[in-house]
């Protein structure tokens, strides 16, 4: 749940020049979130505590407070609202909170708990994507009763990346978390490529992890592959502002999977998406460049499902179709999007796709290909 705090902190540094009352409103909203966030952590980490009727009143009150204050984000003017994915992410988290709160009040506590599990990941995905200058630092806001993995999730969700990194590394050394090594390693790589951006330091970090000789063989192979990407990055010159989009595109295309004999380059994909985001944030792209950038993000995130929150790729693919209908990029985006939906409903060749999902696909296809070209897939 710290996720809310994280997004609020981001907004503090993302806002355009604002009046003093607005700035104070943001700060007040942020402060109001601290207590419910801190209070809810142990309940989110323990399903039995969350579903215990003795805790219902406490949880209800904290969810009400979070829902109320998180919706204030939607009123804050920020240049990031023009960036693909940002406003949708804020809206998604607000809707998630509303849904979880309603279900909790209806007595569907297990469902509410399950929904709320994705909040820290949602928040970290957003904050590892949009460049902000501020970083929250208050380890006291992480409940001491949480285990190392749970603490790391909330630390990442609140932009306490240095402390999160230490916590993840300690968990990697603990045999109790051996089953979660792959999750821990991916979180570390995400911090290194999206936050730290010091490839030489990253090479040293992952080499030290390999030296420990404690990783399962598959994970060791993955880290070795990452090291090749990090070492290549460490030898690359800094990317100039005018070259960020083109360089990002080259990295994404080079890093993507092209067949069973080719392993994707996670480092290149993460670097490439970071550069494309930065080019969008600059606000100087032509319409054709923006169209390409949004498509590239949707394409790249479809290759990185284990690194980001569920549906991150869909945000950009839909954005490309909605903003640039009847273009080549929109058609490409639709093909990736529809293939993913079909994969989600495997078992009968897609015949069990819910009616509302079919309607949504048809609407997107009409926009992507144009009414005259539209013909429902058989």
**Got the DSSP string for 29-70?**
HHHHHHHHHHHHHHHHH-HHHHH-GGGHHHHHHHHHHHHHHH
Same domain for 9 and 29?
yes
More confident: 205 or 126: 205
Confidence of residue 346 (pLDDT cuts 50, 70, 90): low
Is residue 167 pLDDT above 90, yes or no? yes
Most confident segment among 109-113, 133-137, 154-158 = 109-113
Q: What is the mean pLDDT of residues 113-122?
A: 75
Q: Do 152 and 180 belong to one domain?
A: no
CB distance 156 to 126 below 8 Å: no
Look at residue 104 and tell me if it is in a domain.
Answer: yes
Domain presence at residue 164:
no
Both tokens of residue 183? Answer: 């999750």
Examine the domain organization and report whether 286 and 145 are in the same domain: no
pLDDT in tens, 258-277: 665 567 899 999 999 999 98
Please choose, from the candidates 23, 15, 10, the residue with its C-alpha nearest in 3D space to the C-alpha of residue 132: 10
Residue finishing a domain among 94, 128, 159: 159
User: What confidence tens digit (pLDDT) does each residue in 291-319 have?
Assistant: 999 999 999 999 998 887 667 788 889 88
Place of tokens 């595109």: 249
What pLDDT is stored for residue 373 in this prediction?
A: 53
First to last CA, the chain: 43
Distance CA 221, CA 224 (A): 5
Count Cα neighbours of 142 within 13 Å in the Cβ-side half-sphere: 25
Question: Last residue of some domain: 159, 188, 221?
Answer: 159
- In this structure, the answer to whether residues 261 and 140 fall within a common structural domain is no
SS (H, E, C) 123-151: HHHHHCCCCCCCCCCCHHHCCCCCCHHHH
For residues 8 and 26, what is the distance between their CA atoms, to the nearest angstrom?
8
Q: What is the pLDDT of residues 169-214, one digit of tens each?
A: 999 999 999 899 999 999 999 999 998 999 999 999 999 999 977 8
Q: Are 200 and 308 part of one and the same domain?
A: no
* Stronger pLDDT, 294 or 81, i.e. the higher one: 294
Least confident of 7-16, 33-42, 89-98, 115-124: 7-16
Contacts of 260 (CB under 8 A, 6+ apart): none
Which of 372 and 272 is assigned the larger pLDDT? 272
What does DSSP assign to residue 194?
A: I
Q: In the prediction, which pLDDT does 326 show?
A: 95
Contact 305, 344 (CB under 8 A): no
- Residue 167 in any domain: the answer is no
Tokens 């999007």, located at residue? 337
Q: Mark out the alpha helices in 106-216 (DSSP H runs).
A: 109-116, 119-127, 148-157, 161-173, 181-191, 199-211
The answer to whether residues 354 and 267 belong to one domain is: yes
Number of other CB atoms surrounding residue 90 within 10 Å: 23
Q: Are 6 and 127 in contact (CB under 8 A)?
A: yes
pLDDT value of residue 81: 57
Same-domain pairing of 11 and 106: yes
Is the pLDDT assigned to residue 44 strictly greater than 70?
A: yes
Q: With contact defined as beta carbons under 8 Å apart, do 86 and 80 qualify? A: yes
Mean pLDDT computed over every residue of the chain: 80
pLDDT tops 70 at residue 328: yes
Question: In this predicted structure, what is the pLDDT of residue 20?
Answer: 39
Sole residue written with tokens 């200058």: 133
Average pLDDT over residues 37-52: 85
Asked if 10 and 132 sit in the same domain, the reply is yes
pLDDT one-digit tens code per residue, 133-145:
444 556 556 777 7
- Give the position of tokens 């993000």: 297
31 and 152 fall within a common domain: yes
- Identify whether 168 is part of a domain: no
User: Is 222 in the same domain as 306?
Assistant: no
* 316 or 127, which is more confident: 316
Indicate whether 101 and 189 sit together in one domain. no
Last residue of a domain, one of 95, 129, 159: 159
Give residue 89's pLDDT band: very low, low, confident or very high (50, 70, 90): low
Answer whether residue 225 is part of any domain: yes
Q: What are phi and psi of 15, to 5 degrees?
A: -65, 145
* Domain shared by 140 and 6, yes or no: yes
pLDDT of 296 reads 96
C-alpha R_g of the chain: 21
Identify the domain containing residue 41 by its residue range: 2-159
Distance from C-alpha of 72 to C-alpha of 335, rounded to nearest angstrom = 36
Question: 190: how many CB neighbours lie within 10 A of its CB?
Answer: 20
Tokens found for residue 130: 């949009």
Residue 375 lies in a domain: no
Q: How many domains does the chain have?
A: 3
Residues written for the chain: 378
| Domain annotation covers residue 216 | yes
Give the pLDDT of residue 129.
67
Please give the average per-residue pLDDT across 144-151, as a whole number. 82
Q: Tell me the percentage of the chain whose pLDDT exceeds 90.
A: 41
Is residue 215 in a domain? yes
Question: In whole angstroms, what is the distance from residue 156 CA to residue 164 CA?
Answer: 6
- Over range 64-90, report the average pLDDT: 65
Give me the mean pLDDT over the 241-249 stretch.
Answer: 95
pLDDT, position 282:
80
The lowest-confidence range among 73-87, 159-173, 260-274 is 73-87
Q: What is the mean pLDDT of residues 210-220?
A: 88
């Amino acid at each position: 749940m710290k996720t809310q705090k994280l997004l609020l902190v981001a907004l503090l540094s993302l806002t355009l020049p604002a009046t003093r009352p607005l700035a104070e409103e943001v700060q007040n909203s942020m402060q109001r979130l601290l207590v419910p966030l801190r209070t809810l952590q142990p309940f989110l980490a323990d399903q039995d505590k969350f579903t215990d009727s003795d805790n219902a009143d406490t949880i209800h009150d904290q969810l009400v407070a979070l829902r109320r204050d998180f919706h204030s984000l939607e009123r804050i003017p920020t240049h990031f609202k023009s960036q693909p994915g940002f406003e949708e992410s804020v809206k998604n988290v607000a809707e998630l909170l509303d849904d979880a709160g309603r279900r909790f009040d209806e007595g569907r506590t297990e469902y509410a708990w399950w929904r709320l599990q994705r909040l820290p990941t949602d928040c970290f995905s957003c904050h590892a994507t949009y460049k902000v200058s501020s970083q929250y630092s208050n380890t006291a806001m992480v409940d001491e009763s949480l285990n190392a993995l749970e603490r790391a999730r909330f630390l990442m969700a609140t932009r306490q990346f240095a402390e999160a990194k230490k916590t993840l590394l300690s968990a990697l050394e603990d045999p109790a978390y051996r089953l979660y090594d792959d999750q821990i390693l991916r979180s570390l790589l995400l911090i290194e490529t999206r936050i730290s951006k010091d490839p030489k330091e990253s090479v040293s970090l992952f080499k030290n992890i390999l030296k420990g000789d404690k990783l399962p063989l598959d994970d060791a192979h993955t880290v070795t592959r990452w090291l090749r990407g990090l070492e290549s990055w460490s030898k690359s010159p800094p990317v100039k502002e005018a070259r960020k989009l083109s360089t990002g595109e080259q990295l994404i295309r080079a890093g993507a999977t092209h067949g069973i004999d080719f392993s994707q380059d996670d480092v290149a994909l993460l670097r490439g998406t970071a550069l494309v985001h930065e080019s969008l944030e600059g606000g100087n792209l032509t319409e054709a460049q923006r169209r390409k950038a949004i498509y590239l993000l949707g394409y790249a995130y479809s290759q990185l499902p284990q690194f980001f929150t569920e549906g991150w790729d869909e945000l950009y693919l839909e954005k490309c179709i909605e903003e640039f209908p009847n273009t080549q990029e929109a058609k490409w985006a639709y093909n990736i999007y529809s293939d993913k939906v079909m994969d989600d409903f495997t078992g009968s060749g897609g015949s069990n796709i819910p009616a509302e999902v079919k309607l949504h696909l048809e609407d997107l296809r009409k926009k992507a290909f144009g009414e005259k070209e539209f013909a429902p897939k058989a």
